[in-house]
Structure 1
Amino acid sequence: MNRKHFLSFMAMAGATFPALKSFGSSVIPEPATAVKIPDYLKAGDTIGITCPAGFITMAEILPSVQLMESWGFRIKIGKTVDRRDFTFGGSDQERMLDMQNMLDDPELKAIMCARGGYGAVRIIDLLNFDRFVASPKWMIGFSDVTILHCHLSRKYGIASIHSKMCNSFPSDWTLADPVQIATILSIRQALSGEQLKYIAPPHLFNRPGKVEGVLVGGNLSIIETLAGSKSDLKTEGKILFLEDTGEYLYRLDRMFWNLKRTGKLEQLQGLIIGGFKVKPDDPGEEFGRTLYDIVQEKIKEYNFPVCFDFPVGHQKNNFALKCGVKHSFEVNSNGSSLTSLY
């Protein structure tokens, strides 16, 4: 699709897919709390794109650039796009400098990580967040970017957006299915300050309840590796969401034991289990327990509400979530719902 046709099509997206409006409606005010919520974006604001982890090409990010420009945003592409150092988007030094420039850039209102992979942990302690803290901007991404979400939450109490990245935007919007479209549009809704509400169907192992709390979380294996570090996630009084991919069940069991032994489950307001793509057991090494068995064993002594199969994770139905923002979370016989309050 040429650029003119693409942008013309996108200008009609709201009319073509009216059902997507249910995922975001009114713009909501910032709370008078200690949590720092960056300014929501408006037309003309600039989003930077950088690669703190894996590599990606300019051709691969072009659909995301075109779409975000059609939303009215300007895009500044970092120097690490099209760079490659084996699996990384450039050397550690290149990735650190590119992210540092974006953290410090007063023109930017948001930073979108181009893709996940591995590498953010190699540069996180080299970054200076002084200017970023003085003038926060939205950090966007998931998977390996969980390191940045956790660091911003633990060290600075700054909200961020857990969502798909440039490598998840469809190359041809006209061929994208409704779920893919809705998840991408949820990024715009989150950046624009719309209230986000997501609903998951009932699940046999859900635990009912209704609570409010600040939402934190991300990739389980990343959260486990941050335990005891300066980026270690604090969960007391929070609603915790978790997802992961490509892990054996025994490894997931070990990770959930880590959450329990480090006290991360003791004082939760609620627990949200998103998508988990489990790696099949090796023949003769069957673990003998399901993901649901693993989770239930670790939380049986606690009373907070729990939901399973929430639409977040390494899957098509991976919707944008505002980390560090207060949410309402309800689980009942009809399913579960998560609603941003700011």
Structure 2
Amino acid sequence: MNRKSFLSSLITTGAVLSAGDSWSATPPPALSLPALQYQKPGNIPPYLKPGDTIGITSPAGYISLMEIRGSVQLMESWGFKVQIGRSVGKKDFTYGGTDAERAADLQQMLDNPEIKAVMCARGGYGLVRIIDLISFKSFVKQPKWVIGFSDVTVLHAHIHQNFGIATLHSKMCNSFPDDWTTAEPVQISTILSIRQALTGEDFKYTLAAAGANRSGRGQGQLIGGNLSIIESVAGTGSDIQTKGKILFVEDTGEYLYTIDRMFWSLKRRGKLSQLAGLVIGGFKLKPDDPGEEFGKTIEEIVMEKVSGYDYPVCFGFPVGHQRNNMAMKCGAAHILEVNAGGAALRSL
């Protein structure tokens, strides 16, 4: 029995879920601002159609076959085929196999012309150990969607900076619930946003006003991901260039002072000076140690660093290590609008 047959024996076919609306609130009123110069979008991989194959690989942390069954079940119900990589189920301490095994599996997924999208099974740690082992020669000739977040920010940054090909920042296999009948609406909408993005549906995310927001309108390629990972690739061949772009960031498990330090690094390296917009997603923080209180909020940390600039800034965006982690097309052109009524981000 092959790996796919084995997995299929573990799951039953579920009901096909209909596409839901994007995560939204009341859209903000239109801004009366002059039109911005259009920025050429990145190279958009072909959107998926029924019968296309999505490959699942685990280039970072370990994950078992059982843990991906919910994602396979749902993606097959969407009409896609699924190919499970050899790194799924492999274990080398915390990793999904050795560096060589994970690199080989990711390479095969990128090179195989029958695979139209590559979903990373989970994050964790490990992509930075193998990124320089990967050849993107075939991938550049036949681009395909690369999907994931957290540690997968290494791939988003590297692909965007070196090849200008759009990728998909979104939940991964380990975020798909096993039982959709008990899934919360926000879980369903975030997972369905992956299908919307992969099939080329237009989307617009809107959210209510936040007190620290800064009004404005910006247009440019959307880039970003996990703040710690963005900082970890600074000065390398994967370091992102931010001029004229909309940057989004999120993080988890960090102290406030660490977040402050990373934003100072962004500022000192010129990454914040010429943005088209800044989107702040979810930040799950470690509590300050008693007697070592930092004294600033996330909002205060950010606005201190961008006080000399005039682009729009919004807080509380539904992206990050949280249930409301919506799919974001990195490298694709977007418009960010922020005003007293709220904020909106839409793809072009």
TM-score > 0.5 by shorter chain: yes
Structure with greater helix percent: 1
Matched, 1:105 2:112: yes
How far the C-alpha of 1:147 sits from its partner, in A, is 0.3
1:207 is matched with which residue: 211, 214, 217? 214
Equivalent residue number for residue 63 of structure 2:
56
Structure-to-structure mapping, 1:179-198, within 5 angstroms: 179-198=186-205
Letter of the 1:106 counterpart:
P
User: Following TM superposition, by how much is the alpha carbon of 1:233 offset from its aligned partner in structure 2, in angstroms?
Assistant: 0.7
- Is residue 141 of structure 1 aligned with residue 165 of structure 2? no
**Aligned: 1:276 with 2:287:** no
Q: Percent identity?
A: 62
SS at match of 1:211: strand
Corresponding residue SS for 1:111 = strand
Contact preservation (8 Å) 2:14, 2:74: no
Query: In the alignment, is the contact (CA less than 8 A) between 2:167 and 2:329 conserved in 1?
Result: yes
CA distance in structure 1 between the partners assigned to 2:222 and 2:59 by the alignment: 24
1: CA distance, partners of 2:175 / 2:191: 8
Aligned to 1:317: 324
Question: Normalization by structure 1: what TM-score?
Answer: 0.93
Query: Which residue in the other structure is 2:21 paired with?
Result: 21
1:285 matched to 2:331: no
Q: CA deviation at 1:7?
A: 3.4
Secondary structure at the counterpart of residue 143 of structure 2: coil
Q: Which of 15, 21, 24 is the aligned partner of 1:9?
A: 15
**What are the residue-to-residue correspondences of 1:79-118 with 2, within 5 Å?**
79-118=86-125
Cα distance in structure 2, aligned partners of 1:132 and 1:33: 21
> What are structure 2's unaligned runs of at least 5 residues?
1-7, 25-37
CA contact (8 A) 2:41 2:332 kept: no
Cα 1:23/1:251, change in 2 over 3 Å: closer
**SS at 1:112's partner residue?**
strand
Which residue among 283, 299, 303 is the counterpart of 1:296?
303
> Aligned pairs, how many?
328
Give the Cα separation in 2 of the matches to 1:189 and 1:274.
Answer: 20
Deviation readout 1:282-322 (Å, 9 max, x if unpaired):
11111111111110110000000000000000000000000
Given that residues 277 and 313 in structure 2 are in contact (C-alpha distance below 8 angstroms), is that contact kept between their aligned partners in structure 1? yes
What secondary structure, in the 3-state scheme, does the structure 2 residue paired with 1:182 have?
Answer: helix
Q: Is the 8 A contact 1:163 1:187 kept in 2?
A: yes
What runs of 5+ residues in structure 1 fail to find an aligned partner?
A: 25-30
Change (3 A) 1:169 1:273: same
For 1:223 and 1:191, locate their aligned partners in 2 and report how far apart those are by CA, in whole Å. 24
Verify the 8 A CA contact 2:22 2:189 in the aligned structure 1: no
Cα deviation, residue 245, structure 1: 0.3
Q: Is the 8 A contact 2:91 2:97 kept in 1?
A: yes
Counterparts of 1:137 and 1:23, CA distance in 2: 25
Verify: 1:308 aligned to 2:315, yes or no: yes
Q: 1:262 to 1:32 in 2, by over 3 A?
A: closer
Matched, 1:335 2:345: no
- Residue 334 of structure 1: how far off its partner (Å): 1.2
CA contact (8 A) 2:40 2:333 kept: no
Task: Write the distance in 2 (CA, Å) between the matches of 1:219 and 1:269.
Answer: 19
Q: CA contact under 8 A between 1:215 and 1:326: conserved in structure 2?
A: yes
Residues 266 and 302, structure 1, Cα contact 8 Å, conserved in 2 = yes
C-alpha displacement at 1:33, in angstroms? 4.1
Do the aligned partners of 1:3 and 1:66 also contact (CA within 8 Å) in 2?
Answer: no
Contact 2:39–2:220 under 8 Å retained in 1: no
Asked if 2 retains the 8 angstrom alpha-carbon contact of 1:23 and 1:196, the reply is no
Asked whether the equivalents of residues 92 and 122 of structure 1 are also in contact (C-alpha less than 8 Å), the reply is yes
